Amino acid sequence: MKNNDNLNDLQKKLGFYFKDSDLLTQALTHSSFANEHGLEHNERLEFLGDAVLELCISRVLFFGFPDASEGHLTKLRAGLVSEQSLARVARSLSLGECIYLGKGEEHQGGRDRDSVLSDTLEAVLGAVYLDSGYSASQECIQKVFREFIPESFELMPSFKDYKSRLQEATQSLFKARPVYILVESTGPEHEKIYRVQVELPNGMKVDASESSVKKAEQKAAGKAIRMLSRNS
């Protein structure tokens, strides 16, 4: 297991110390490691952390940008909670050094992969919420995101995920949005695979499967963007 110094350093950077250290351990446990060692992975905590993060960031932006429109606030939030942005925050916390990875994922560079870092950060924030509640989560998120929140909307870097990019493309090409449908979920409860289909306004359909609905939607959107590019 990880060196206690790494975990203490992480908690110091978070500005939050866990009362239940097992929650932090689970939040840092990637499914590849969990499967090798018969442990519980962090995907349920990731699901919770995703919702906690969106609420807390929404509050920060609501009070931090009192003159911003709903549309601007939505774009600011999307940029801050995108995979690339979350990975940047995770790197600022040296989170990659703390993740429990399986051997295969380790050898494939998972420790510095944006998707692994962003998912783990969400899991950690979910664990903070379970450990100490909403107020503690809000304080933690404000601290770790402080340097990444711009002084104005115009200074916000653009980190558009595949779903955002696909929506912009379909709005431009077809004046309509894509539709995502959960086709099926398979496998045991702790290793479920979700298959999602995205249907474009021109009738084109693209499927993708991943370990969460969110990941499957992003993967399907990425495939759809590539198909649109080839057809243009």
Q: Of 43, 46, 50, 131, which is the active-site residue?
A: 50
What CATH architecture does domain 4-155 belong to?
A: Orthogonal Bundle (1.10)
**207 among known catalytic residues:** no
The confidence score (pLDDT) of residue 159 equals 54
pLDDT in tens, 205-219: 999 998 888 888 988
How far is the C-alpha of 134 from the C-alpha of 140, rounded, in Å? Answer: 10
How do 179-186 and 193-199 pair as beta strands?
antiparallel
Q: Which two tokens stand for residue 197?
A: 């289909």
CA dihedral 9, 14, 19, 22 (to 10 degrees): -70
**139 among known catalytic residues:** no
Q: Of 122, 131, 161, 217, which is the active-site residue?
A: 122
Q: Give pTM, 2 decimals.
A: 0.73
Positions of E strands within the chain = 179-186, 193-199, 205-210
The better pLDDT of the pair 144, 3 is held by 144
What ranges do the domains of the chain cover?
4-155, 162-231
Q: Is 40 left (phi over 0), alpha (psi -120 to 50) or beta?
A: beta
pLDDT in tens, 82-117: 888 899 999 999 999 999 999 988 988 889 988 899
Q: Which fold has domain 162-231?
A: Double Stranded RNA Binding Domain (3.30.160)
